[in-house]
Amino acid sequence: MIYASLSFWKGAAERAIATGAQFCLLVLGVGVGAGALPGETAQIVNALTLNYVTLGGAFLGGALVSVLTSLARPDFVAGAPGASPVPLARH
């Protein structure tokens, strides 16, 4: 079974980390852009005052979405030759 293969879990982990990081950047970007109204100064990201609980939640949420997506297309995530990221319609 492909779910038991090391290549599947390596691919799923790589995708989950990347997606989690993208979710964190999205949270940071929304937070910075929220204060940038006309006439106001844009906010600066300060690592000492970040809400790490929110960032951690965003990361884990993104990673979970990615793993669930990986479970839907295990052959593609495992790097099977000829695997497509989107199921192809059969006529």
N residues, the chain: 91
CA atoms within 13 Å, Cβ hemisphere of 43: 15
pLDDT number for residue 44: 73
What are the DSSP calls for 18-58, one per residue? Answer: HHHHHHHHHHHHHHHHTT--TTSPPP---TTT--HHHHHHH
* Spatial separation of the C-alpha atoms in residues 60 and 20, rounded to whole Å: 6
Q: What is the pTM of this model?
A: 0.74
Residue closest to 70 by CA, chosen among 27, 17, 23: 17
pLDDT digits (tens, 9 = 90+) for 37-78: 555 566 677 788 888 898 999 999 999 999 999 998 888 888
